[in-house]
Amino acid sequence: MEKRIVEFIRALRASGVRISLAESQDALEAIDIIGALDRGQFRSTLKTTLVKEVRDHDRFDEMFPLFFGSNRPPMWNVPQNMSPEDQQMLQQALQALQGDSQALQDLMNQLMQGQPFSQEQLEQMAQQAGLPMGSDMYQRRWFERRMQRQAQMQQIQRTIEQLLNRLQRMGMDDEALQQLEQMLRENMQGLANQISDFVGAQLAEQMANQEPQPQPDLMDVPLSQLSADEVEQIRDEIRRLAARLRSRAALRQKRAKAGTPDPRKVMRTNMRYGGVPLELKFQKRHVKPSLVLICDVSTSMRYCAEFLLTLIYELQDQVARTNSFIFIDDLTDISMEFEEMEPQEAVQKVLMDNRPGYYNTDLGNSLNTFNNEKMGTVTSRTTVILLGDGRNNFNNPRLDIAQEMQRRSRRLLWFNPEPPSMWGTGDSDMLAYAPLSDGVYRVSTLRELANAIDKILADG
């Protein structure tokens, strides 16, 4: 048991759960006291000693049955639950389907008798499906489908339908047919669950036997490749990142040592010298930027837009004013949400209210709406930030409006997660938008996004 618990702990660590050596020792000592006879107490003891964060509960719940389950699903012995007459009719119907392959006949008999897959069958299917090459739990569904194909589950499903149709034609009553169908469906689900549990257990054991891999800095992981857990971790880090950016921006706003003199500061400082201006003081050169954000929140840009909006609104004390808009196929003003709620709460509401769907991104139409209704938000002191990949689904890009925005604003900047090598490919209009901008920042990672915002704050 101790070896199994150690393997379980290693698998949890490999899946991203932080467990120290001291916590591992606590778990083993607690199990020595509690024992493993009561499964509920055993599970609760391990969870209490090993899991510290709420986000890791689901991972523990997924892993536990893979290491401490029987992998033998409850199944029906179908003939034993039928009348002698129905048994005879079932046998005749099965004999009439003998044209199928021997392997399929064997699986059908196994299904009828309620026999789970043997360990030998599972290992053979796993070998043919390439399961020994698996290395992470995200591959589980893919290997399940491959093993189900090896087990001919789709063919057996069709055979069941043929069997039920034949029995109906032979005169089996509806109640008996429904009972037979229910037992066969439950047996099929039992076999599918057995495959799923086997795949999960094998992947977990293979993860436990791997050498721990160094975790990449989430600041440098491409936003498009973040897992759900990593997205949650970054959301937790946003406030700390904003605090660092705020501190750097505040340092830049110290009074300059050259430039335009500040008369009041000069007089106040030189009172000690009888009013003789021996020390000169100068006005601030840094001006807080006024921003207009126009963010693509289609599926490919969603996380990037979330982090940009959250960061900007966490830094509102470093910004003179911000007007925010999102778009997929048309423009939506979201400035009011950020005036009424906390930044992260506002972002989540905006994303919930504007879900991506099966429609085309249309930046050109969104720019047209901005031109008709919101162009007054752009002045000579405004920095306009367009967040998007410049992909417009072959719609009119409205370059004339982009040019007018650049003319009216202090500067127009693009934040684009795609590398320049992708510009102009497919439906990308980025090669046309870029010359109409004062700069294009690549923001494929959180670090690149933070650096771009930092540069804007530095040059308010």
Q: What are the residue ranges in the chain where pLDDT is below 50?
A: 255-256
Per the CATH hierarchy, to which homologous superfamily does domain 235-252+287-458 belong?
Answer: von Willebrand factor, type A domain (3.40.50.410)
What is the DSSP track for 372-437?
HHTGGG--TTEEEEEES--B-TTS---HHHHHHHHHHSSEEEEEE-S-GGGTTSTTB-HHHHGGGS
The per-residue pLDDT for 213 is 59
Q: What is the pLDDT of residue 256?
A: 46
Cβ-based neighbours of 129, under 8 Å, separated by 6 or more: 143, 146, 147, 149, 150
How do the domains of the chain map onto residue ranges?
A: 2-67, 80-190, 235-252+287-458, 255-286
Q: How many C-beta neighbours within 10 Å does residue 395 have?
A: 16
Q: Which residue has the tokens 């549990």?
A: 197
DSSP state of 261: B
| Phi, psi (rounded to 5 degrees) for 384 | -95, 125
pLDDT in tens, 245-275: 888 776 665 544 556 777 888 888 888 887 7
Tokens for 49, please give them.
Answer: 């000693």
Q: What is the pLDDT of residue 285?
A: 57
Q: Which CA distances in Å does 11 have to 22, 80, 137, 448?
A: 17, 42, 10, 33
pLDDT in the model for residue 269: 82
pLDDT at 386: 94
Q: Is 65 helix (H, G, I), strand (E, B) or coil?
A: helix
* Residue 186 CB neighbour total at 10 angstroms: 15
Structure tokens belonging to residue 379: 């002045």
Question: Which pTM value belongs to this model?
Answer: 0.53
